Amino acid sequence: MSTLELGTTPAGAEPGTPPATGTTVRGWVRPGPTARERRTDVLLGLGMALAAVIGTELARGAAPTHVDLGIGGVEAYVLSAAVALPLCFRRRYPITVLLAVAVLFVVNGERATFAFAGNLITQATMFMAVYAAVAWARDRRLMKASVALVFIAMFGWLTINFVRALRNNEIEGPNHALLSPYVSSVVLTLALNALYFFGAYFWGRTAWGIARQRHELEQQATELAAQQESNAKRAVIDERLRISRELHDVVAHHISSIGVQAGGARRVMDTDPDAAKSALSVIENSSRSAVNEMRQLLGMLRAADPDLDLEAPAVKQPQAGADRLPALIADVNGEGLSVGFHQIGPPVQLPKTVSVSVYRIAQEALTNVRRHSTARSAHITLRYLGDSVELEVIDDGRPKHAPVGSRLGHVGIRERVGLLGGESEIGPRPVGGFRVRVRIPLDPQNRPLTGDDDD
């Protein structure tokens, strides 16, 4: 045997490299064993040593001829135990254990042949040492060199035994098969040893690859969790910015009107002109101050996240509101989704912020239905409940398997409703489909972000 093939891997790849998982960890080093794993190894090594001694005694009893127990009559037992004891450190020092077991393995085979041939524990020890070295070695180049050295030594020792047996004419038999007894024994022994040693190697490489793949998947999960948290925070910020723009438009409209009217009244009023002018001047100045403060607040919200590009002016569209829900439904219908609408209770004039929020929530819910559901139909219900207004959007579909939604739209809905002092219910329906239901109070005491902004 001139070369020792240890499997083929792509250029520059580590042995046992698993299929790509999306996050490739180059130069990955397997972490060392845990304290529990080290304790398990110690117990395993001691148990294997005890079993090896028992196996040697059984082999002695089963031997058909007298056997030599070696120095002091205990050498065979000591060697059998010594082969297994290094397994106490098989995961802490895998390469050292491999080399030590290999040396003791050969010594045992030379000094206690009867125990070596008939003791399965000794054979299992060598297998476990090769496996542990391949599965746990941190220096992969040193591992490959050590395994190659051990394999060459083992097959070289096997060759020496073949030559010795041929010289002493030890392998004979009465049967005349296709091959001679000697050749048949050589072929069978080589096949079994190749299966034994290379099986241990590839099993260990598979274990190492699985550990690496598990590490990559855990890293992916960590990155995805961090990314999801970042996206959720971004969704909250985006929704707050959107609310602040709408709130600015609503409040600025009313306060600017007050300023204009107060300025005109100041100019035309002729009864008690001094007092009227003074009062109207205060109203005018207060309204303009309120607009300036609102603009400053919006500027601070924008500056809270400098990564957001908010400098470009937004394209002006018709003012969103609950009264535009029929127009929204008309836009959605005809795009593979049939949407119905039902209004319960006598309609009332909603505050602008509540009206805009009802429209935006319905818009986001329908967008989610179209993008992330197999639904063919949906229904919107708007309920005027006196002290609150309730919006419900339901559909009859199932979540699509791909692409999977980020559910950041739901984060935005909850954030908007929470800022208005309301409550939301988002999730699958017991009878199938999905439901988005929100209730927003109309009592000014329960709406910290809104005031009496009716016309």
- pLDDT given for residue 47 in this prediction: 93
- pLDDT given for residue 424 in this prediction: 92
- pLDDT given for residue 142 in this prediction: 92
- pLDDT given for residue 11 in this prediction: 43
- pLDDT given for residue 374 in this prediction: 85
CB 23, CB 214: distance < 8 Å = no
- pLDDT given for residue 245 in this prediction: 67
Rounded CA gap, 329 and 342, in Å?
A: 11
Residues of the chain with pLDDT under 50: 1-25, 306, 308-316, 402-406, 445-455
- pLDDT given for residue 251 in this prediction: 66
pTM of the model: 0.50
The H or E element containing residue 388 is: strand 388-395
Please count the CA atoms within 13 angstroms of the CA of 1 that sit on its side-chain side.
17
Q: What share of the chain is helix, strand, coil (3-state, %, to 5)?
A: 60, 10, 30
DSSP symbols for 59-93: HHHH-SS-----GGGTHHHHHHHHHHGGGGGTTTS
Only one residue has tokens 């309920």, namely 383
Of how many residues is the chain composed? 455
- pLDDT given for residue 341 in this prediction: 92
Residue whose C-alpha is closest to residue 79's, from 52, 48, 45: 52
Rounded CA gap, 65 and 367, in Å?
A: 87
CB 352, CB 255: distance < 8 Å = no
- pLDDT given for residue 268 in this prediction: 66
- pLDDT given for residue 452 in this prediction: 40
Rounded CA gap, 94 and 205, in Å?
A: 13
CB 112, CB 56: distance < 8 Å = yes
